[in-house]
Amino acid sequence: MRRVLAAVLAVLVGVWAAGVLRALARVAPELRTPRLLISFAWVPLGVLPAMRARMRQDTAVPPGVEVTERSADGVPVLVYDDGSRPRPSGALLWIHGGGHLVGHPGMDHDLAGRFVAEAGVLVVSVDYRLAPEDPFPADLDDCVAALRWLQDHADELGVDPARIAVGGASAGGGLAAATVHRAHDDGRPVAFALLEYPMLDDRTALARVPGGRGRFVWDARMNQRAWTAYVGRPAGDPGVPPGAAPARRRDLAGLPPTWIGVGDQDLFHDEDVSYAGRLRAAGVPVQLHVEPAMYHGADANVPGAASMRAFRGRMVTAVRAAVG
């Protein structure tokens, strides 16, 4: 019996290894790293609060950029500025990623500072509440409150209220889209949306993903668990609360010009491309960039790779052109 079990285990390991190798072959060589073999899909959600403290690691703030802690009507935010921008300037409300479950503003110090230094804008990054302790709509409410604070304090911050953008990565990209929707509906629209591989559609958790996409960093199992924890019901359920999954919004007309970037090996590729198409069909100007051989979060995983520097450079250029 032990020999049979060992043989079965060997076969399963071989199948798994073959699948990993096939998936790695679709990833750009400069983006391959041993960290791609680490998965959090089986980590109990109950240990997340303890894990967050251990996972909390800030990236470096670029030289010359100052970071100030502020309270946006009770919501903690970080304000990035370098003192050299013209006043009034444009501004970017930035929302970090983490699947609605983990993450913190400091993880994007480097990117936020790059927006300041290269796009010439003020950046406000939101330290929003996280699920499962604080499920939807807690984080969205925090992001909307931060946006309203930025709009209401534009003069104090040296910002042109007509040149405010909202952006984010992964779950933060989904929150950015949802924040832009809420701002539009409330009659307080923004000028631009920057969505970096945004997490937009809970129904992706139930879909068969073609082409082997989503094997690394953020896979289908983790996506399903995250959405379920966030919305308090099974991912894909017809009763998912309105506003939680931006891709479920039917009417996209009147939303601001939008930039969307995603890798062709990202689990979110199809939902992001679909959202871009629906925006275009609704008359919204859209720039869609699909990065070849890129998995989810590769720019944060391997920030020094030439392709990832260029990928982030595209975002900086988009912000500078839209509100800089």
What is the rounded average pLDDT of the residues 19-29?
A: 82
pLDDT for 14 beyond 90: no
- Label residue 12 by pLDDT band (50, 70, 90): very low
* H helical segments located in 153-243: 154-157, 171-185, 220-231
| Per-residue pLDDT reduced to its tens digit, 99-133 | 999 999 999 999 999 999 999 999 999 999 999 99
Q: For the chain, what is the mean pLDDT? A: 92
| Catalytic (active site) residue 153 | no
pTM for this structure?
0.93
Q: Which of 104, 272, 296, 299 is catalytic?
A: 296
- pLDDT score at 22: 82
From CA 63, how far away is CA 211, in angstroms rounded? 41
| Per-residue pLDDT reduced to its tens digit, 242-271 | 999 999 999 999 999 999 999 999 999 999
| Per-residue pLDDT reduced to its tens digit, 191-207 | 999 999 999 999 998 88
Q: To 10 degrees, what angle do helices 138-152 and 171-185 make? A: 60
Could you tell me the CATH number of the domain that includes residue 270? 3.40.50.1820
| Catalytic (active site) residue 170 | yes
| Per-residue pLDDT reduced to its tens digit, 235-249 | 999 999 999 999 999
Q: Which of 182 and 6 is assigned the larger pLDDT?
A: 182
For the chain, what percent of residues have pLDDT higher than 90? 81
| Catalytic (active site) residue 125 | no
Bond before 137 cis per omega within 30 degrees:
yes
Please name which of 173, 184, 168 lies closest in space to residue 256, comparing C-alpha atoms.
184
How many structural domains comprise the chain? 1
DSSP character at residue 281: H
Give the DSSP H or E segment for 24: helix 2-25
181: containing domain? 2-323
Q: Which of 170, 270, 272, 307 is catalytic?
A: 170
Q: Which of 108, 142, 201, 266 is catalytic?
A: 266
Residue ranges of E strands in 245-294 = 258-263, 286-291
* H helical segments located in 100-190: 109-114, 138-152, 154-157, 171-185
